[in-house]
Structure 1
Amino acid sequence: MSIQVFGLPVSRGVAIGRAVLVASSRVDVAHYFVPVDRIDHEIGRLRGARDGVATELQSLKHELPPEAPAELAALLDVHLMLLHDEALITATKGWIRERHYNAEWALSAQLEVLARQFDEMDDPYLRERKADIEQVVERLLRELAGQAGDEAPATAAAAKAMRDVAGEDPLVLVANDVAPADMMQFKRSVFTGFVTDVGGRTSHTAIVARSMDIPAVVGAREASRLIRQDDWVVIDGDAGVVIVNPSRIVLEEYRFRQRQSELERARLDRLRHTPAVTLDGEVVELLANIEMPGDAPSALDAGAVGVGLFRSEFLFMNRGGDLPGEEEQFEAYRAAVEALQGLPVTIRTVDVGADKPLERMSQQELRHEHGLNPALGLRAIRWSLSEPGMFRQQLRAILRAGAFGKVRILVPMVAQMSEVRLIFEALARARQQLDDAGRAYGPVEVGAMIEVPAAALLVERFLRHFDFVSLGTNDLIQYTLAIDRADEAVAHLYDPWHPAVLQLIARTIACARQSGRGVSVCGEMAGDPAFTELLLAMGLRSFSMHPARIASIKQRVLRVDTRRLAAHLEEVLASDAPQAALTQLQAGSWPH
């Protein structure tokens, strides 16, 4: 019987093959109390497991083939960093010493604590980092149980067993989740796509899938329970649908779509280094969003003409109280700048706070229970200004990286003119400190992220001080509509097509252009082809997105005449249903 399973489309294309079903490899945890005289021994077991997993991960990283995506090595580094994170290991030792829990029980208890903290985070990218903690704990539990290192990873073992049964048939992986450390096996295997029960659009499995350009559907909930070993499976990575045991007609239809998709990918690949110029000669800047210096080569390879958003908070997260110093930050920023070979790099100052807490923050700063909304708390630039020493340290590191290439500073969540004054005072102080120390630094442009309605309404005033602005559409939608994206009860109301949202975006772009200042969009809208024509009609000429989206957006850009688009902009913005109005106009080929 044919069934359909629905999830989130995270990597385009169609994959067809027999299912390799990999059950969750989480180890059953024993629960018992450790006598006082065995506590040190139990902590030694934990330390030994940590060292064993670290060795395993380092070996996996060392054995990465040259063609492996940069994201994979970076994700292995994340897991290595988590292994030594005070919030995990030191706190687990506390459970052993204070509660006399055995190592497995202590790890599980601390995982529950951390999982709750991640679930309360507002940022979807950081919230989904909970999966990294879970995968690291799973490896530690396997090591404690004597399983790690004695057998191949579950994905590889399952693939081998399945190949013996399926012969030459293509294979797709079905699992509860796929750990980044196992992605090397995935890369070398015969899998043509994968389905996971959990995950989101910004989960690591989704990121790696996009970097490998492999069709994938995540968050399919019951997929691993409903799909049986050796079932024929179709993965529709465009629609987020998984079809199990399709009929012959459906199977042939998807095989045709698969061939068409492969041809389309080949055509898009040829556009990678084609200049993004509209039919009427407007040059459009397509930039990349990155999280770490190692992402820079991938951005160049995708055809990006710079980095429009370097999320510097990646350097600060999951480190316990050991935050990166000026030198460590400088080396990271310089590596990204040098990798871009003269192209611009926009570094966003650290975006942490009540919803993305650092371990060094005080309990008062972290307190967001009892109905308080962390999205409205001490975060982003508010937190940076409350930690002036840390803020100036980051500014000095960015300024120093500016001596090695074109660097821009982007400040998140600016909403007050008083914040603008304090930002530039901090910059002046950072420059003075570098002068006093005899340190070289370069010129930098300074921009503000427009993420709250107040900023969009005050953008003319902001532009008297800032060199450019960048629209963070994800937060702008959330704050404009008063919708918590993490709350499933209202998530369906999160609407990027809402007229109020579009009017704020159009206003920001128009004001920036009138002021002769730069303006870009770095939220999800930038990488969504459904919005490309509308944003171009508004006058946007700079888009920043995940590198994997650049070719498809470039294809849209090359096919449009911005003058004809702009002539119908007011008609779309005045509509109660802008998406329907745009679709209707597009169906008429944007008549004169």
Structure 2
Amino acid sequence: MASFTLHGIPVSRGIAIGRAHLLAPAALDVKHYLIAEEHVEAEVVRLQTALTAVHRELQTLWNELPKDAPTELGAFIDVHALILSDPMISEAPLDIIRSRHYNAEWALVTQIEELSSQFDEIEDAYLRERKVDIQQVAERVLKVLMGSEPLAAPNAVNPDDDEFMAQMVVIAHDISPADMLKFRDRSFIGFVTDVGGQNSHTAIVARSLDIPAAVGVAQASTLIEQDDWVIIDGDAGVVIVSPSALVLEQYRERQLAAQRARKKLSKLKKTPAVTKDGTAITLLANIELPDDCGPALEAGANGVGLFRSEFLFMGRAANMPSEDEQFEQYRRAVVAMKGRPVTIRTLDIGADKPLDPTEHTALNPALGLRAIRYCLSEPQLFLTQLRAILRASAFGKVRILIPMLAHAFEIDQSLAMIEQAKAQLREANVKYDASVEVGAMIEIPAAALALPMFVRKMNFLSIGTNDLIQYTLAIDRVDYEVAHLYNPLHPAILQLISMTIAAGQKAGIDVAVCGEMAGDTKLTRLLLGMGLREFSMHPAQLLAVKQEILNSDLGAIAPLTRKILRSTDPDGIADAVLALQTS
């Protein structure tokens, strides 16, 4: 196959070289893991057993048909039985298990998606509609599989056991943030999606997993074929399909160079983050789940600056996490951080993080009932979360962060709800830290322009640059068609960030940046020059940012930063920020 190159948006640095795995939307709904060689035949038998069970179900249905049942019902069962016996269903998924080492559910869905796409191309309407019958038969088999013990799951292959299995690159039209998290323990080394923007939450999770990724790669899922060799250049947002031997060698050398650079950075883990002129900087970690605390500590984080609690809720609209379940997750994170502060953001659901992806969303969900607006509209859900967070505060230092505040009444209502949750715990004689600090996320321009009402009532501020940029520049950060307009160096953005840091300093309260700008080493010195002393980012970015801090002289940076803030020339600002990196 001839080599070709696709261009998208870089979202997670690094280089991935591997085989393409096309992920159909339906495949996200089933478990998917790789089977070790010695357990492949057992997994084949597991699928064969499920197929046999469905055959018996259909036979029972036929035998129990009432005498006066419409003849169409019998014909319907016959059609499904024939489909089930067809080698495309009864044999092809078994071959997928043997050749690709997929678990049974994954192999079946992969084959069904392939068949469905073939049926879509049939001109005859009647035959084209038979796709539905195939999908219904597959659903019966999946129900049997999902009700059976996944015998191979505990024996899922170790990514290091086999080079091919450890080189799988996911290619999909789109992957939700919740689905991204399913891949954290799988044998995947990179992601490519047709849609998405640099700061969509899918991109943010890719960075948190520290896996090279490119999004907004239009038609990648249709142009790339299963098992194609693929290179993801995460730094450039470039995807090279079927690369030549020379190109492959060049990228392997770049991979090795990056690994050497990362190894060199690891020596900074225990080095305090202090500028050349002696100013101490606090480096915090952004996490999605308690298990992320290990990498955060390993990277030398001073604490957690953003625990995105919504990942405990996503995809669970019908089965919301209970207070005890939430408490246990928060407690695990607090204990894992060994006395370091853990800032837990209350439920920030909505926009590209829907509670239920199948629900009808607002015309413009980014401007709708999301984050604190949603929580205040669901007071019992909010109180349940607040009680869980407060209970966790008995085990270490916890701070509560409220997202998307814009109005004084939202601040007042949020603080009142926290007091109500405290009262409920006192009444139940449950321990909590009465002095828990409460902070506001500054991510709406109205908040940055009305800072006095925040600093009077809040203990700290955290600037969410991702949404601040989105709302200030009126850009949907998930929409790859306008992604090129997303610019953290826009003069308005820099002014709002600078104003917030200055207001916090004047009021004597901490200000952090927890958005993606905090982990961008190209912007580290600019933020330092603005007066920022607390950065929160993905653990994978922490050491690189620390290196920038260690090489920075605030005395030299400050005057250059003031000059940048006075400028309204985009090119001039970009050049000046580049110059800052060498100052």
TM-score (norm 1): 0.69
Does the aligned pair in 1 maintain the 2:12–2:203 contact within 8 Å?
no
Aligned match of 1:339: 336
Determine if contact 2:208/2:538 at 8 Å carries over to the other structure: no
Look up the match of 1:418. 409
Match of 2:560 among 568, 571, 577: 568
- State the SS of the aligned residue for 1:282: coil
Counterpart of 1:491 in structure 2 is: 483
The Cα shift of 1:402 comes to 1.0
Deviations 1:392-423 (A, max 9, x none): 22222211211110000001111111122222
Match of 1:441 in 2: 432
- Counterpart of 2:287? 290
Structure 2 residue corresponding to 1:474, chosen from 457, 466, 469: 466
- Structure 1 residue 142 displacement after superposition: 11
Deviation at 1:226, TM superposition (A): 5.4
In structure 2, do the counterparts of structure 1 residues 171 and 385 end up closer, same or farther at CA, with 3 Å as the change threshold?
Answer: closer
Does structure 1 retain, via aligned residues, the 8 Å contact 2:489–2:573? no
Question: 1:299: Cα distance to partner?
Answer: 1.4
Question: What is the aligned partner in structure 2 of residue 522 from structure 1?
Answer: 514
Q: Aligned partner of 1:20: which letter?
A: R
**Match of 1:568, SS?**
helix
Counting only pairs closer than 5 Å after superposition, residues 159-174 of structure 1 correspond to structure 2 as 172-174=167-169
2:171 match = 176
Q: Distance in 2 between matches of 1:155 and 1:20?
A: 17
Partner residue, 2:373: 382
Q: Are the equivalent residues in 2 in contact too, given 1:173–1:195 (CA < 8 A)?
A: no
Residue 393 of structure 1 is aligned with which of 384, 403, 407?
Answer: 384
Q: 1:105 to 1:491 in 2, by over 3 A?
A: same
2:239 to 218, 242, 245: 242
Question: Greater shift after overlay, 577-586 or 511-520?
Answer: 577-586
**For residue 449 of structure 2, what is the amino acid of its counterpart?**
L
Shift of 1:577: 3.2
Gap change, CA 1:590 and 1:400, over 3 Å in 2: same
Which of 249, 259, 262 is 1:262 aligned to? 259
Contact 1:330–1:401 (CA under 8 A) maintained in structure 2: yes
Letter in 2 for 1:450: I
1:338-368 deviation per Cα after TM superposition (whole angstroms, max 9, x unaligned) = 1110000001111125775546x9x9xx875
Aligned to 2:90: none
Does the aligned pair in 1 maintain the 2:560–2:580 contact within 8 Å? no
**Deviation at 1:204?**
6.9
Match of 1:80 in 2: none
Equivalent in the alignment of 2:539: 547
Q: 1:336 to 1:37 in 2, by over 3 A?
A: farther
1:134 — aligned with what?
none
Cα distance, 1:408–1:529 mapped onto 2, change above 3 Å = same
Task: Give yes or no for contact 1:304–1:547 (8 Å, CA) kept in 2.
Answer: yes
Larger radius of gyration: 2
Q: Partner amino acid for 2:520?
A: D
SS at match of 2:10: strand
How far the C-alpha of 1:325 sits from its partner, in A, is 2.5
Equivalent position SS for 1:548: helix
**Structure 2 vs 1, CA of residues 413 and 238 (structure 1 numbering), >3 Å: closer, same or farther?**
same
Distance 1:551 1:175, change over 3 A: same
Once the 2 structures are TM-superposed, how far is the Cα of residue 269 of structure 1 from its aligned partner?
Answer: 1.4
* Aligned positions of 1:179-190 closer than 5 A: 186=187
C-alpha distance after superposition, 1:481-511 (max 9, x if no partner): 1222233443332222111111001100110
Contact map agreement 2:371 2:403 (CA 8 A) in 1: yes
Cα gap change, 1:325 to 1:445, in 2 (>3 Å): same
AA matched with 2:390: L
Q: Which amino acid aligns with 2:6?
A: V
Check conservation: 1:199, 1:205, Cα contact below 8 A. Answer: no
> Could you tell me which of 307, 314, 331 is aligned with 2:311?
314
Structure 1 counterpart of 2:70: none
CA distance in structure 1 between the aligned counterparts of 2:152 and 2:342, rounded to whole angstroms: 44
Give the % identical residues: 48
What letter is aligned with 1:388?
P
- The AA in structure 1 aligned to 2:457 is H
Residue 395 (structure 2) aligned to one of 404, 410, 435: 404
Change (3 A) 1:449 1:231: closer
Q: Deviations over 1:33-70 (max 9, x none)?
A: 9999699x99xx9xxxxxxxxxxxxxxxxxxxxxxxxx
Instruction: Give SS of 1:261's match.
Output: helix
Aligned-pair Cα RMSD in Å: 4.4
2:562 aligned counterpart, secondary structure: helix
1:117 corresponds to which residue?
none
Gaps of 5+ in 2: 28-57, 67-72, 81-105, 107-130
Q: Secondary structure at the match of 2:187?
A: helix
Q: Which amino acid aligns with 1:547?
A: P
Alpha-carbon distance in 2 for matches of 1:288, 1:107: 46
Q: 2:152 and 2:25 mapped to 1: Cα distance?
A: 16
Give the corresponding residue for 1:20.
Answer: 19
User: Does the CA-based 8 Å contact 1:302-1:548 persist in structure 2?
Assistant: yes
- Deviations, residues 492-540 of structure 1 (Å, cap 9, x unaligned): 3222211111100110011001111000011111111121111111101
Q: Is the 8 A contact 2:286 2:538 kept in 1?
A: yes
Deviations 1:180-223 (A, max 9, x none): 76776627xxxxx5464557566779857864x55454554555
Q: 1:6 and 1:335, CA in 2 relative to 1: closer, same or farther beyond 3 A?
A: same
Deviation string 1:87-144 (CA, Å, 9 cap, x unpaired) is: xxxxxxxxxxxxxx97964699xxxxxxxxxxxxxxxxxxxxxxxxxxxx99948959
On the 8 A contact 2:489/2:574 being kept in 1, the answer is no
- Aligned match of 1:352 in 349, 352, 356? 349
Q: Which amino acid aligns with 2:516?
A: E
1:325 corresponds to 2:322? yes
Could you say if the C-alpha distance between residues 319 and 215 of structure 1 is closer, same or farther in structure 2, counting changes exceeding 3 Å?
closer
Measure, in 2, the Cα distance between the counterparts of 1:274 and 1:327: 38
Matched residues in 1 for 2:167 and 2:326: separation? 40
- In structure 2, the partner of 1:456 is 448
TM-score by length of 2: 0.70
1:190-229 correspondence runs (5 A): 193-194=189-190, 196-198=192-194, 207=205, 211=209, 215-217=212-214, 220-222=217-219
Q: 1:172 to 1:508 in 2, by over 3 A?
A: same
In the alignment, the residues of structure 2 paired with residue 242 and residue 499 of structure 1 have an alpha-carbon distance, to the nearest angstrom, of: 32
Distance of 1:268 and 1:474 partners within structure 2? 26
Per the alignment, in what secondary structure is the counterpart of residue 283 of structure 2? strand
Residue identity opposite 1:434 in structure 2: L
Distance in 1 (alpha carbons) for counterparts of 2:351 and 2:226: 44
Q: 1:587 to 1:523 in 2, by over 3 A?
A: closer
**Structure 2: how far apart are the matches of 1:537 and 1:458?**
23
Measured after TM superposition, the shift of residue 456 of structure 1 is 0.4
Partner of 2:97: none
**1:465 correspondence with 2:462:** no
- Cα distance change of structure 1 residues 441 and 484 upon mapping to structure 2, 3 Å threshold: same
Deviation at 1:153, TM superposition (A): 12
| Letter aligned with residue 450 of structure 2 | L
CA distance in 1 between partners of 2:376 and 2:168 (Å): 47
Alpha-carbon distance change, 152 to 241 in structure 1, aligned in 2, over 3 angstroms = farther
Whichever residue aligns with residue 383 of structure 1, its letter is Y
Tell me the SS of whatever aligns to 1:420: helix
| In the alignment, structure 1 residue 577 sits paired with structure 2 residue 569 | yes
Whole-Å separation in 1 of the counterparts to 2:520 and 2:508: 26
Counterpart Cα distance in 2 of 1:282 and 1:232: 48
Distance 1:2 1:502 in 2: 42
Determine the C-alpha separation between the residues in 2 that align with 1:172 and 1:12. 17
